[in-house]
Structures are given as C-alpha cells and as structure tokens.
C-alpha cells in the first residue's frame, strides 16, 4: 500500500464512518478504498468495451468479415481468462 493525502469534506468523512460498519467494513478508509476500486473497475470495463467496439468497427470498414472478428475476439478472451 502507498500512503496518500486526500482532502474530503468533513461531513462526507462522518457519513463514511457511520455507514462503514453496517456494510461490513472495520473503518471508513477500507470503505473508501472499496468505493474507489468499484469505480475504477467499472470505468476500466467501460473503456475496454468501447475499445473493442471501435476496433470492431474499424475492422469492418477494412472489409474484415464479422465471423472472423467474432472468432478473434473469442480467442483473445480465452487467452486472457
């Protein structure tokens, strides 16, 4: 882990402290890390999806058959799984 300094409104910190135990967290800092991680994973998935879509459209414009594109995507997904 790396230590960082982050400025947040006091009321937000107080609310995080209140809700953390009810969500199963031992404190507000692990809850903040969880929230950041969830948002990051969501954005990464959205970015990956948009990149796949852009690549697929580009390949179609270059005359690559949809079956070949689908097979290539399936191969790539198997390799990264």
Domain spans, the chain: 10-80
Q: What is the pLDDT of residues 4-49, one digit of tens each?
A: 999 999 999 999 999 999 999 999 999 999 999 999 999 988 888 8
Predicted TM-score of the model (pTM): 0.64
In the chain, alpha helices (H): 10-19, 28-61, 66-80
**Other Cβ atoms within 10 Å of 15 Cβ, number:** 12
């Amino acid at each position: 882990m790396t230590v960082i300094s982050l400025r947040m409104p006091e009321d937000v910190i107080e609310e995080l402290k209140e809700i953390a135990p009810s969500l199963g967290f031992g404190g507000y800092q692990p809850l903040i890390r969880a929230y950041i991680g969830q948002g990051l994973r969501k954005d990464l998935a959205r970015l990956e999806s948009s990149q796949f879509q852009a690549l697929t459209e580009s390949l179609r414009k270059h005359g690559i058959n949809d079956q070949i594109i689908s097979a290539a995507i399936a191969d790539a997904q198997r390799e990264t799984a």
